[in-house]
Amino acid sequence: MTGQAWEQADFSCGTCGHCFTAATEQEYVNLYSQHLNAHALLAMLTPGMLKELRALLALADVEGAPS
Ligand SMILES: [Zn+2]
């Protein structure tokens, strides 16, 4: 990326308060869209589905399952 005026950009989510830092504009866009997608997905899940998902992730021994 050329012509970039900043060294890094900090993003703070207004919904969950999560903060992350991106070193490039492309990384920022990627992180931001991934984060919004995750929120959109979570918003679609019912508490029952979330419980099922957690159980499934735990069974599969997946780290970082939502709590
Ligand atoms: Zn968030």
pLDDT, tens digit only, all 67 positions of the chain:
556 677 888 889 998 999 989 999 899 999 999 999 999 988 898 989 888 988 888 898 877 655 5
The answer to whether residue 39 sits within a structural domain is: yes
Q: Is residue 66 part of a domain?
A: no
Tokens of 11: 């993003």
Q: Which residues pair with 12 in a beta bridge?
A: 19
- In the reported structure, the alpha carbon of residue 11 is separated from the centroid of ligand 1 by a whole-number distance in angstroms of 10
pTM above 0.85, yes or no: no
CA of 57 to the centre of ligand 1 (A): 21
Q: How far is CA 9 from CA 2, 12, 28, 47, in A?
A: 15, 10, 7, 34
Distance 10 CA to ligand 1 centre (A): 13
Residue 1 is assigned to a structural domain of this protein: no
For 14, the token pair is 């207004």
Count of domains forming the chain: 1
- Residue 39 belongs to what domain range? 9-59
Look at residue 3 and tell me if it is in a domain: no
